[in-house]
């Protein structure tokens, strides 16, 4: 795998860990992930790279998007042609990258990613493959409504769709759920398969101006983020939270009542454990694993 100069960015695992290639908000990132290093400050946790060239930034983001599909396959989030992850293009933010229709998540490479414009048309620059119509209807409206979010994930995961039938958010009954404290919306209707941007707009409206995730009643869930890493990890986390919630519901009864975490601890933990920096970092072990298992996904 080739590298670039340190003035742009490389995409090897080693380059992602180089301290000289950091975002401007490095100190803030380090505070968000609250790691411990050495007394001299030489030992630091890896953080997202910064770029002087938009093409390099696009390449890096597409590599993480391709890896996210591999991770979703490994998590069992694949089901036929259902499921999609989108990434706003860093060069033209009106366009976004998405997976081709009818390609298994476990096979997707960078070169398979499709670039779509705001009219739902596949355009040059990416793979020339058809895309999922409902995917465009949903993702295009989320990208329009939330310029602060650059990636969105939707898949028909078992626990996500099972929990969605309740049409309600998860409860704050364990630490990991606090990643979604006051950060999880519910779209409390089911309008059938999403075939129109009008339905996508209603989903985006349900997501609201601040939440990153939404439960789609009788359907499943969508998670979003500033980076595809953040959005992908939130999806993994929310699916597991749905699983844990249903297990807690099944076990609860007289003498085994659920205990909710109080507001102060919930707010503090959400800020420390659910912030965008922590979510980006949480996805990196999955990225590492996917690339190690099949480096060709970066091609």
CATH for 203: 3.40.225.10
**Arithmetic mean of pLDDT, 148-155:** 98
Interatomic CA distance for residues 212 and 208, integer angstroms: 9
State pTM to two decimals.
0.90
With respect to residue 68, please indicate whether it lies within any of the assigned structural domains. yes
Per-residue pLDDT band at 19 (split at 50, 70, 90):
very low
Cα–Cα distance for residue pair 24/10, rounded to 1 Å: 17
265 neighbors 240 (Cβ within 8 angstroms): no
Residue 171 in domain: yes
Give a yes or no: residue 80 inside a domain.
yes
Query: Would you state the pLDDT for residue 193?
Result: 87
Residue 136 lies in a domain: yes
Q: Residue 9 domain-assigned? A: no
Distance in Å from the first CA to the final CA of the chain:
9
Domain of 81 in residue numbering reads as 54-298
Rounded CA gap, 19 and 221, in Å? 36
pLDDT range class, residue 191, cuts 50, 70, 90: confident
Nearest-angstrom CA–CA distance, 182 and 228: 21
> Beta partners for 85?
153
Angle between helices 228-251 and 276-293 (to 10 degrees): 100
Number of domains in the chain: 1
Least confident of 104-118, 188-202, 263-277: 188-202
Task: Classify residue 249: in a domain, yes or no.
Answer: yes
Backbone angles phi, psi at 86, to 5 degrees: -115, 155
Rounded to the nearest integer, the mean pLDDT of the chain is 92
Instruction: Tell me 260's DSSP state.
Output: P
In a domain, 259, yes or no: yes
Q: What is the mean pLDDT of residues 106-121?
A: 98
pLDDT at 7: 33
Does residue 29 lie in a domain region? no
């Amino acid at each position: 795998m080739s590298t670039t100069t340190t003035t742009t960015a490389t995409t090897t695992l080693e380059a992602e860990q180089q301290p000289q290639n950091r975002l401007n908000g490095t100190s803030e990132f380090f505070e968000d992930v609250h790691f411990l290093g050495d007394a001299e400050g030489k030992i630091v946790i890896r953080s997202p790279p910064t770029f002087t060239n938009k093409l390099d930034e696009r390449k890096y983001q597409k590599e993480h998007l391709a890896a996210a599909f591999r991770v979703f396959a490994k998590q069992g989030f694949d089901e036929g042609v259902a499921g999609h992850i989108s990434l706003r293009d860093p060069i033209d933010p009106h366009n976004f990258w998405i997976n081709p229709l009818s390609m298994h998540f476990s096979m997707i490479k960078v070169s398979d990613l499709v670039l779509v414009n705001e009219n739902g048309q596949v355009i040059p620059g990416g793979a020339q493959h058809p895309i999922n119509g409902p995917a465009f209807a949903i993702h295009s409206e989320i990208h329009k409504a939330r310029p602060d979010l650059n990636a969105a994930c939707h898949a028909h995961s078992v626990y996500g769709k099972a929990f969605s039938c309740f049409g309600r958010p998860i409860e704050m009954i364990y630490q990991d759920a606090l990643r979604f404290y006051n950060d999880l919306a519910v779209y409390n209707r089911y309008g059938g398969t999403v075939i129109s941007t009008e339905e996508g707009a209603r989903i985006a409206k349900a997501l609201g101006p601040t939440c990153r995730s939404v439960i789609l009643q009788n359907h499943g869930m969508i998670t979003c983020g500033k980076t595809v890493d953040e959005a992908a990890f939130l999806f993994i986390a929310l699916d597991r939270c749905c699983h844990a919630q249903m297990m807690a519901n099944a076990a609860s009864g007289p003498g085994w009542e659920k205990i909710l975490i109080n507001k102060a601890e919930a707010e503090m933990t959400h800020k420390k454990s659910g912030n965008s920096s922590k979510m980006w970092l949480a996805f990196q072990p999955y990225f590492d694993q996917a690339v190690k298992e099949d480096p060709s996904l970066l091609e």
